[in-house]
Structure formats: C-alpha cells, structure tokens
Structure 1
C-alpha cells in the first residue's frame, strides 16, 4: 500500500514538473515607435501645368501669296513695327494701279455729268423766262425741267461711283500694305511656321506665320487643378513648382488667376489656375511641364507625430480617434489623448498633455522581449 502511494506521488510530481517545464510565458509584443517632434506642417494642393509666356501673339497674313523674304528666325528679338517678312507684291501693285484708273474714270464721269447738269439748268431757267413772256408753251418748260432733274440725278450717281472706286482703291492699297508683315509688339520669336518661297493662302482663315512672346522674363504656369481642390485656392496665394530640366531648383510664384471655365477629360473635371513667376535668369521656357504645389495652410514649429500613429490601435481596439499609444513594460500600452491639428499627409500637428521627445507607437512589428524604436520618419509602407 505504501509502495502504491509512493508511485502515485512520483507520477504526480513528474506530471507537475512537465507542465511547468513545457509551459512558457507569452512573449511580449514588439512595437515600432516614433518620437514627438517639433516641425513645420504645411498643407498643400498639387497640380501639373505648362509654362507659357504671359502674352503671346500669333502673327499671320490677311492676303494670299508667295513669301518673298523673311527677316527673322527662331529666338529673334523684334521690335513693334519691325518688318519680319514680305509677300510678293506684284499682283497687289497691279490691283492698286487698276483701282486708281477706275477712280480717275469715275471722277471724269462726275465732271461730265456736272457739265450736262449746268447746261440743263441754264436751259430750264431760260425757258421759264420765255414761258413767263408767253413766247413758248408750258410743255417745253416741263421738258426742260425733266432734263434738269435727270442731269442732277446722274451727277449723284456719278459721285457714288467715285466713292465706290475710291473704296476699291483703299482696299487695294491695304492689301498691298498687308504684303509687308510687321511685328505687332516688342518680343521674341518663339515659333516660325513659314519659309521663303512658300505660298500662303488666306482665303478661309488667317495662316499663322510667326508666334511672338512679348517678354520671356515674365512667365506663367497654367496648372490644371482638380475640382476637389479648387476651393482652397485664392488669387495672391503662394505657389512653388519644379521643372524636369532643373530638378534641384524650386521656383516661386503667386496665383494670378483662378479661371471659372471647367475642363472635362475622361470624367475628370479640372480648372485652370494661372501662376505668375519671374524669369530673369531665363531658365523657364515655353512648353515646359511644371509640377506645382500650392501652400494653402501652415503651422510653424508645432509638436507633430507621423500619421501612422493615429492609424495604430492595440489588438482588439478600434482604430481611429484622437488617441496615441505609449508602450510600457511587458508589451503593455497606455492611451494618450491629444487634439489633432493641421496635417500635411505625412505628419499631423498635435496638442494636449504631450511633450517633445515622447515616443508613441506606430505599428506592431512582432513579439520580442524589448520594444524597438524608430526615428521620427513615418514607417515604411507595409509596416502598418
């Protein structure tokens, strides 16, 4: 009996020892943390656009003909009124000569009709006198009066013919003047679409020969801003942008105009925002693509945490809200209520019972005996 009791006790001891031997404590959770830091938070709206000259003029021709001579080229500096091309004027000079001849004929016709009018007036006056003395019949006076009125009408018609001839002459002279193409403004030739000897036709539309930018030291960006962001933008607002040609340079401008006209492409609605910028160094050129950032709000030197800190929640807890979490011993967590401020998409300004340098949890990284610590940069994608 004693032996049996001894065996039972030994079995019980072995079982208890095995239980405590094989049972291991739950490992503590390991967290990725970030420090509460002081930084500038700037809220922005991004867009892309095209750099253009502030004022660009397409120079064309109102008459058809053969380009006789070109006096400028790409990047040429031109002044207002400067001759930049000519069209062969021979046909237009002939039209002027013909119109001058037609005008001379019409003027001669007026002189002839006026002479007839004077004869008809004298005959009418003479016959009225004779009729008053009963020397002629009344019918002769009536005939003379009709002749006089007819001569007066023909003079009026001849004078109208002169006006028509003069108008044709003015048109012919204007067309001749149009064969000399001049620059309408001081500027730079940014495009040339014609060559000497080329025939241009202006029958249905005015062909563009040159494109002249008024002043390339002042440029503008025409940026397409999404309808969801257009409400944030105001005239005078600061704008920064970069171009691929100078990736390390940041150019600064201001919002000159927010246009009301909407553009729709593939069901995406955008509005054009014009940003004016100084270009004294002549780095910016028409047609460049600009990546624009509009600063719509800012908070300077405020306490901030990575946005991932607000997306973290302990196992079993709902995410979100205005709670941050601080890791304690053994994988424990303590809630830290804060008030959210401005966010730039990566960091969020906070206020409340929080101090600079304090660490907050941004993600669970696994199980370990100690808590890992990250720098103040946001966690890498996939860590939360």
Structure 2
C-alpha cells in the first residue's frame, strides 16, 4: 500500500491557514473605519488660506551710519606765549560766557605794560615842555617883528625868531606822534596782558582738556589748545551716505535715528545740510549729511554711533497687505478678496507706498477684508496664515526698513 508524499500531507494545512487569514482580513476591513481614525486632510483638500487687511504704517527709507557730535564747539587756546599757571575748570563742568577758564603767567606782560606807561608819561612831559618853548618862541617872534617894523632890529633877527617858532611847533607835532605810538603800544600790551586770563567764549560744557598746569605754550609757532567747550544742548549727527543714495536726499527731509547704546529710543529730526565735498573710503564715495537734534536731557553724547534712516516715502495708519497678495498688472493693481460667502472677487486697488514687503492701499480695500496670495491656486506653496499676519489687526512689527 502506497503512502502519500510529504507535499500531499501539507496541502490541507496550507488551505486551512489561507482560510484563517482570509477571515481575518475580512474582519479587519469591516472594523477598520471604527478602529483607525481618519487621516487629516492634506493642504490640497483645504480651501486656500487668506490674509487679513490690517492697519499700520510703513516707510521707504535710506539707511546710513553716523556719528554724534556737538553742533557748536570751540577749541579754547591762548593768544600769548607763556607758562600755564592755572586751570580753573575740569572736564564735564558747565560754564557760561565770560567765565575764567585758565591763566597764563602774566609777569612778562605786566612788565611791558609798566614800561609802556612810563614811556608815555615821559612823552607827555616832553610835550608840555615843547609847548612851553613854542609859547616862548611865539612871544620872541612877535617882539622882534615889532622891533623890525620900527627899524630897531635887523632882518636876520626877525627871520631867526620866525624859524624858531616853526621849529617849536614841529617839535610839538613830533612828540604828539610819539605819544600816539606809545599809546598804541600800551594798548597792545594791555590786550596781551588780558589774554593771559582765558575766558569762556560761549555757554557750554568742558568736553576735553589737552594742556596741563605748568606746561609752556608757544603761541608764535602753533595755536596751543588748552581745552574744548561744546554746547551739548543741540547735537549734530554726521551721517555718511553713499553717492547712489545721496541724490535722493534734500534739506528738510524727515530723519529718525537711534544710538548703538539705546536702540530702543528713537530720535526724530530733519536734514539740515548735505556737504558738497565727499570722502572716499576703500573706493566708496561718501557724502556727509548733517542732522541737528535737541538734547535737553543729555542722552546724546559726543562720538556716539547712530543708525540713521532717511524717510523717502511714508504711509501712516493706512490699510496694509503683503506684496504676495498684490497682482500688479499693466491695466492696474488688483487683489483677490474672499467674500463672506466664500466666493473670490477680483478688485482693483490704488497703491500708495510699497516698502518692507508691504503695500499701503488707499482705495479698494477695507481693514478686515481677507485677501488671497496671488499663488493661492497652488495651496502647496501657501505658507502664510491669518494668525501669522497678525490677529490683533495691526501689521507685524518684525519687518525691518530697507
């Protein structure tokens, strides 16, 4: 009697296993909707997201770096040579015009003044003597002239007396000229003596001191500087602007700036002057633009670094949309607006300022409208959402001016 082979014996087991797996598959398929939660809908299944029109302010600006300096400052020096005997103020002291700042040793100049005064007194005494001699010569000339008329004196005596009178008058004129010269010298030496007392020429603050007590200052070869006074009530920002941008600036243009140490505080002012002479640094042509600003609290200090923004255009408190939602065409700018019932409407809008990735709208949209990016038909590329744009109804503050 023959026995079945091994493959024949395995066939019933394989059939049983297949039936078990088939039953399990049917059961899983039946219960899959209840056991496995549905997958989330993809972006392709969602309606395109929109961006709310918000209200805000944008600017188109030119940026530059600048240095803060006093608008008015004076390097106070000495007009006479000598040893610096005293300095009566220090750095940081506030002074008024006429305040005594320093003194030069005055002894040499006092000696000169004393000598000039003595010489002047001598000449004045000589003048009195010359006038007395002239009066005597006049009397003699008159007496001899009468004698000559009465034929009691010779012509030679008459001519001699007349010449003596003329000589006496000339001597007086010469002494008077010398007196004038002496007085002029005295005035000059008195002025030099007064220069040994160095007074403040303006109201301001002492910002630096370059000379020390005991130092000898030579005013004949150089202009020695003792200290610098500055009026810190008004400061000037000297901004360096490249030649490609400076042509778009003009005096009176709005400016705002902040300092490196106080980036949270913003100062506002206007352009005072654009200097015509450029500076060339590393083959870059730069022009100095001056901006004045009041400094009542002294927060601005000399040599501070300032980040300056010159405002070219500005849209204040206007409806704003991102540029991704603006469809710019030859026949006019348009946006796609989602209405309350879900329909999409194409609207023509008037654009004011475009800056910082935003566009200010003057007509065609209202705050709160929902606009669609121009690529909204391809939801896979859409990344912005209403929540990203700003649920508070204001434009996002992260945009930086360019």
More strand by share: 1
Matched, 1:145 2:159: no
The Cα of 1:77 is off from its aligned counterpart by 2.4
CA offsets 1:318-370 (integer angstroms, 9 cap, x no match):
x9985568699xxxx99875443212243122466556321214799xxx884
On the 8 A contact 2:92/2:207 being kept in 1, the answer is yes
The Cα of 1:269 is off from its aligned counterpart by 5.6
CA separation in 2, counterparts of 1:370 and 1:289?
Answer: 45
On the 8 A contact 2:100/2:198 being kept in 1, the answer is yes
> Pick from 176, 180, 195: which aligns with 1:178?
195
Q: Secondary structure at the match of 2:109?
A: helix
Greater C-alpha Rg = 2
How has the CA–CA distance of structure 1 residues 373 and 261 changed in structure 2, closer, same or farther, with 3 Å as cutoff?
closer
The Cα of 1:371 is off from its aligned counterpart by 4.5
How has the CA–CA distance of structure 1 residues 158 and 34 changed in structure 2, closer, same or farther, with 3 Å as cutoff?
farther
> Pick from 319, 335, 360: which aligns with 1:349?
360
CA separation in 2, counterparts of 1:210 and 1:183?
Answer: 10
Q: Secondary structure at the match of 1:55?
A: strand
Paired position in structure 2 for 1:293? 309
CA offsets 1:55-110 (integer angstroms, 9 cap, x no match):
32221111011101111111122233222211111211221122122212222221
What TM-score do you get using the length of structure 2 for normalisation? Answer: 0.71
Paired position in structure 2 for 1:304? 320
> Pick from 258, 269, 272: which aligns with 1:258?
272
CA separation in 1, counterparts of 2:273 and 2:295?
Answer: 21
The Cα of 1:126 is off from its aligned counterpart by 1.1
Paired position in structure 2 for 1:120? 137
Structure 1: which 5+ residue stretches go unaligned? 1-27, 314-318
CA separation in 2, counterparts of 1:369 and 1:100?
Answer: 101
Aligned length: 335
CA offsets 1:179-211 (integer angstroms, 9 cap, x no match):
111222332111111101111111145322111
Structure 2: which 5+ residue stretches go unaligned? 1-43, 339-343, 390-394
The Cα of 1:172 is off from its aligned counterpart by 1.3
On the 8 A contact 1:36/1:304 being kept in 2, the answer is no
CA separation in 1, counterparts of 2:222 and 2:330?
Answer: 63
> Pick from 107, 114, 118: which aligns with 2:124?
107
Superposition map of 1:69-108 within 5 A: 69-108=86-125
Paired position in structure 2 for 1:164? 181
Q: Secondary structure at the match of 2:287?
A: strand
What TM-score do you get using the length of structure 1 for normalisation? Answer: 0.74
